[in-house]
Structure 1
Amino acid sequence: MPNIAVIGAGLGGLPAAYELRHLLPRDYTVTLISHEPNFTFIPGLIQVALDLKPLEHIQLDLETLAQRHGLNWVSGGVTALDIPNRRITVADEKTIDYDYAMIATGASLAFDLIPGLGPQGGYTQSVCTPDHAIEARQAWLQFLDNPGPLVVGAVPGAGCFGPAYEFAFMAERELRRRGLRDQVPITYVTPEPYVGHLGVSGVKNAQALTAQLMQERGIEVIDNMTITAVEAEKMILANGQTLPFKYAMILPAFRGVQFVQDVPGLGDERGFIPVLPTQRHPNFPNIYAVGVSVELPQPDQTDIPIGLPKSGQMSEAMATAAAHNIAVDLGVIQAPLQIPTLDALCFAEFGDTGIAYIAAPVIPDPETGQRRSSYAVRGPWVVWAKAAFEKYFMLKMRYGVGMPWFEKLGLRALFKLKLFKSVLPEDIQALARV
């Protein structure tokens, strides 16, 4: 019987595996492959890095989940993908034959593009992986004993800016709580053309609300800027300015994972995977891709290259649509194909308040340059909403639920987000994003 392999078990991969298991007959195999032993709710890593939450609170054991929910669990990193023979090599020794493969690996982190960047061999911290968050927490605790300038931000090519904003504001609040704020000047440095851009231009109120909060919290902003090098307690900018720091959390550029880069034609020049609107690869019909691993065009022409964000909610929507479309391909269900609308919702927690950024869809209409809906709103309710969503999402992952109908209904009712639309196969090429 068919084997559908899902590579990656994050915010896109694990929901995809659950959706496939729900849609497909029990004698079909759904294989989940991951080099990580745990599912991690990545947005929670900022609180881990700031010693506000233990890592265990946002993790679940993947082997246990796989056994509980009927998934074939394979532990290890993918080292090769043989598309002609439909074969995956894991950890250089184990091979898995597949009928369909869904790539949900996320991105690799390009710390090497800037000298001195990153926690391994560099001088800055990261909140992109569980290991990085643990290292960042250790450095943060040392920083609290000997405080000084704090620099937070991102470099050109970063694909998500929300964590940098959250870290800056949550760190500021924590320093105030500890009575250390007057000892710590905070600088936010970013390649974004303006504060509150977050890789998505034209979001109503986003710039004004974010800039106002930066001013209220006394955080200096350096936008439209490139970090060229990092040395011990010193950051060098493209304009020649030098920023001293005792602690720095800088998001790196993203690129595709190595096994994708190794397959000719699978990814673009940076290793991101082009897809049709159905999440299917345009040249390899048995390959689907979702989440951060996917190539999405950045519609903004910014002075400094930046990535288009792919939020966790967008990744889950891509995964749900891809699972549905694989089931249609296999003939298991008789239904139109689904495509994710790429409506984006980001709850950004900024200490005792927050900002919700909504862009529906994140890529504007190519003819009009407009979105159906695009705005930002501020309030403490954002913090509560994010905490509630984290609990809800962890509960879903624990009980093997992908994206239930009431979640889709809630997002539509509260934020006017329509996550999917149905299309006929003959309409796909006309709608292609690549």
Structure 2
Amino acid sequence: MAQIVVIGAGLGGLPAAYELRHYLGKAHQVILISEFPQFTFVPGLVQVGLGHIPLDHMQLNVPMLAKRHGFKWVQGKVQKIDPLQKRIYTHETLNYDYLIIASGAELANDLVPGLGIYTHSICTPSHVLEARTAWETFCQQPGDLVVGAAPGTGCFGPAYEYVLLAEADLRRRGIRDQVKITYITPEPYIGHLGIANMAHSQTLTEALMNKRGIATLTNAQIVNISSDHIFLADGQSFGFAYSMILPAFRGAKFVKASGLGNERGFLPVLPTMRHRDYPEIYGVGVSVHLGQINDTQVSIGTPKSGQMTEAMAMVAAHNIAVELGSIAKPLQVPTLEALCFAEYGDTGIAYIAAPVLPDRLTGKRRYSYAIKGIWVNWAKAAFEKYFLAKMRLGVGLPWFEKLGLRLLFGLSMSRPAMAEDIVQPVNV
């Protein structure tokens, strides 16, 4: 009996555990390690941060799910991994035959003095609760609002959602005329989102920001933050009474401490999601290194969406099951095609990139575009309910979800691996 360990119970880890349980049955043991006993649907934290929904509506109890669906749960913070001995060190020592690292990333607030001290973020449950309390205080005494992203940020969708939903919330409260809103971003243009050349994205997103009276500044490099001002590398500064700034990410500390990551702590993986140097280890989601696709004036990262994370989890579990002989199918590779529903108040925009990483040889995608409409908000709300429901039911990535993405948006989640996928790192 093999022992397969999954680190992290988030958007990648919990679905990976479910997929492993589905593929492996009772022939092998699946163990899930997480620091916290709650699964959190991170895309819903924007609404939590503005007080629209309570945090517990976006969370599930992991110990209960583990017991119900037949895998072992261990609560603990991973300190180090010994990839040669195949051991994991938490408050106890665990051995593994295969390991999936889906730990997410850490917030690199220290790269900008004052970031996370005088500003808020919506990246973690604890941070979003602090942001929500501060937002209510701000609304009692309105002032200037600054929203944006620090250099190195890769996922800009939450910043756009936050600034536009905050603007809508201020209108609902009848205090919009008392608040000057500024959006500051390292993106080269509004609607870039870390994905260049997405048709209609700039036009639709810029028009919406202008319509809502939100001032924007691109190619902005935040270098310092005080208690009431944000300072840029070009000498400009912006005062604020409340600010939400997304930080850059780095890999989890235990990844770098174990010698498994690159200089930023991200896992170097093959397209099959297997670690470049250790074939028993797989990486999933924000914890992995993806090749840089952006050549911009100010450094930005490559986005890793929830859908991409889910696809990586499915592929990692599938490939481990193939290695163990539990299924007789070819190895798989995630396509990294992404669909992002962004809710913006009385409308929304769907951003589609197929795939996020352009073709290595041609530098092109199959297609990428943005489309606007109130239906986007409905679709996002429906998907949140659906995703939480399938997590309760112990379902990873069912066939009908993959079919729906293909029929509605032309997106695929994975493809059979080719010879070069076994040896060539992702987009390097």
Question: What TM-score, normalized by structure 2, do the two folds share?
Answer: 0.98
Deviation at 1:250, TM superposition (A): 0.2
Per the TM alignment, residue 428 of structure 1 is displaced from its structure 2 partner at its CA by 2.4
**CA spacing shift, 1:431–1:288, aligned 2, 3 Å:** closer
The residue aligned with 2:3 is: 3
Q: Residue type of the partner of 1:210? A: T
Structure 1 residue runs of 5 or longer lacking an equivalent are none
Aligned to 1:219: 214
Three-state SS of the structure 2 residue aligned to 1:45 is: helix
Letter in 1 for 2:130: E
Task: State the aligned residue count.
Answer: 428
Residue 275 of structure 1 contacts residue 433 of structure 1 at CA under 8 Å; is this kept in 2? Answer: no
Q: Which amino acid aligns with 2:43?
A: P
User: Per-residue displacement from partner, 1:251-272 (whole Å, max 9, x unpaired)?
Assistant: 00100010001122x1111001
Is the 2:360–2:427 Cα contact (8 Å) retained in structure 1?
A: no
Q: Distance in 2 between matches of 1:424 and 1:300?
A: 26
Q: Is the 8 A contact 2:293 2:357 kept in 1?
A: yes
d(CA) in 2 for partners of 1:269, 1:117: 22
Q: Does the 8 Å CA contact 2:272/2:421 hold for their aligned counterparts?
A: no
Q: How does 1:317-332 map to 2 (within 5 A)?
A: 317-332=311-326
Q: 1:62 to 1:243 in 2, by over 3 A?
A: same
In the superposition, relative to structure 1, how do residues 302 and 327 fare at CA in structure 2: closer, same or farther (>3 Å)?
same
For residue 237 of structure 1, report the CA deviation from its aligned partner.
1.2
Structure 1 residues 426 and 244, CA gap change in structure 2 (3 angstroms)? closer
1:292 aligns with 2:286: yes
Q: Which amino acid aligns with 1:61?
A: N
Equivalent of 2:114 in 89, 93, 116: 116
What is the match of residue 163 of structure 2? 168
In 1, Cα distance between the equivalents of 2:353 and 2:147?
A: 25
Matches within 5 A, 1:184-195: 184-195=179-190
CA RMSD, Structure 1 to Structure 2 (Å): 1.1
SS of match in other structure, 1:281: coil
The letter for the 2-side match of 1:124 is: T
CA 1:430 to 1:105, structure 2 compared with 1: closer, same or farther past 3 Å? Answer: closer
Partners of 2:310 and 2:420 lie apart in 1 by 25
> In the alignment, is the contact (CA less than 8 A) between 1:354 and 1:380 conserved in 2?
yes
- 1:60 equivalenced with 2:60 (yes/no): yes
Counterpart CA distance in 1 for 2:156 and 2:44 is 15
- Separation in structure 2 between the aligned mates of residue 394 and residue 384 of structure 1, nearest angstrom: 16
Closer/same/farther in 2, CA of residues 253 and 424 from structure 1, 3 Å limit: closer
Query: Which whole-Å CA distance do the structure 1 matches of 2:409 and 2:205 have between them?
Result: 20
Q: CA deviation at 1:431?
A: 7.6
Instruction: Quote the Cα distance in structure 1 between the aligned partners of 2:290 and 2:97.
Output: 25
1:348 to 342, 365, 372: 342
Matches within 5 A, 1:297-312: 297-312=291-306
Structure 1 residues 220 and 72, CA gap change in structure 2 (3 angstroms): same
Give 1:84's aligned residue. 84
Uncovered stretches (5+) of structure 2, i.e. residues with no partner: none
Cα distance in structure 2, aligned partners of 1:25 and 1:43: 30
1:153 aligned onto 2:151: no
- Alignment correspondent of 1:106: 104
SS of the residue aligned with 2:224? strand
Q: Deviations over 1:225-279 (max 9, x none)?
A: 1111111111111111110101000000100010001122x11110011111100
Cα deviation, 1:352-384, whole Å, max 9, x if unaligned, reads 111000000001112222111110000100000
3-state secondary structure, aligned to 1:374: strand
Give the fraction of aligned pairs with identical amino acids, expressed as a percent.
61
> Is 1:366 aligned to residue 360 of structure 2?
yes
Could you tell me whether the CA contact under 8 Å between 1:343 and 1:418 is conserved in 2?
yes
Could you tell me which amino acid in structure 2 is paired with residue 337 of structure 1?
Answer: L
- For residues 231 and 431 of structure 1, do their structure 2 counterparts lie closer, same or farther at Cα, with a shift above 3 Å needed? closer
1:125 pairs with one of 111, 120, 126: 120
> Which among 206, 221, 227 is matched to residue 201 of structure 2?
206
Q: Alignment partner of 1:117: what SS? A: coil
CA shift for structure 1 position 342: 0.5
Cα distance per residue 1:165-207 (max 9 Å; x no partner): 0000000000001101000010000001111011000000001
Q: Which residue of 1 aligns with 2:177?
A: 182
